[in-house]
Amino acid sequence: MEPCIFCRIARGLLPCKKVYETDTLLAFHDIAPIAPVHILFIPKVHIPSFHELAVCDGALAWMNDLMSAVRIVADEYCLNGYRLVTNIGADGGQVVDHVHIHMLGGQPIGPMRVGAQPASID
Ligand code: 5GP
Ligand code: ZN
């Protein structure tokens, strides 16, 4: 069985609430939304994270579709703006190891990092 949960969704082996689709990209509602609008954009091919985009086949075609997909979906769901987030690796808080872009909107999303103090840069 396909081990990656987002590969399974991309192949139609697991259900999702689809929002938008192209040959290379699928956008669907997050199963545990943290905002009124919480949509995930994934490539249909397996790419582990944003960090691997430069070295994985299919990344460029997905990124190309992503630009228009974000615009089309946001024009329908996020009329007042939105935030795009992609978590990468352990420190980034990535849980699903198949690159995905979170679109958060539907209300003011708040500070970039709750409770953050200015980081020391020296
Ligand atoms: P990460 O922390 O890896 O950036 O985010 C993974 C996201 O995938 C989480 O927001 C989580 O709720 C979502 N997610 C995990 N499994 C599923 C699933 O089976 N279906 C959907 N629609 N979203 C999922
Ligand atoms: Zn995958």
Domain boundaries, the chain: 5-105
Given this model, what pLDDT does residue 118 score? 73
The CATH code that applies to domain 5-105 is: 3.30.428.10
CA of 121 to the centre of ligand 2 (A): 36
CA distance 39 to 44: 15
Helix then strand then coil, in percent of the chain rounded to 5, is 30, 20, 50
Ordered per-residue pLDDT tens for the chain, 122 residues? 678 999 999 999 999 999 999 999 999 999 999 999 999 999 999 999 999 999 999 999 999 999 999 999 999 999 999 999 999 999 999 999 999 999 999 999 999 887 777 777 76
pLDDT given at position 61? 97
Quick one: pLDDT at residue 13? 97
CB 99 within 8 A of CB 53: yes
Beta-strand relationship, 25-29 and 18-21 = antiparallel
- Distance, in Å, from the CA atom of 115 to the CA atom of 109, rounded to the nearest integer, reads 14
State in Å: Cα 31 to ligand 1 middle.
Answer: 6
Known catalytic membership, residue 100: yes
Report which ligand 1 atom has the smallest distance to the Cα of 96: 3
pLDDT at 113: 85
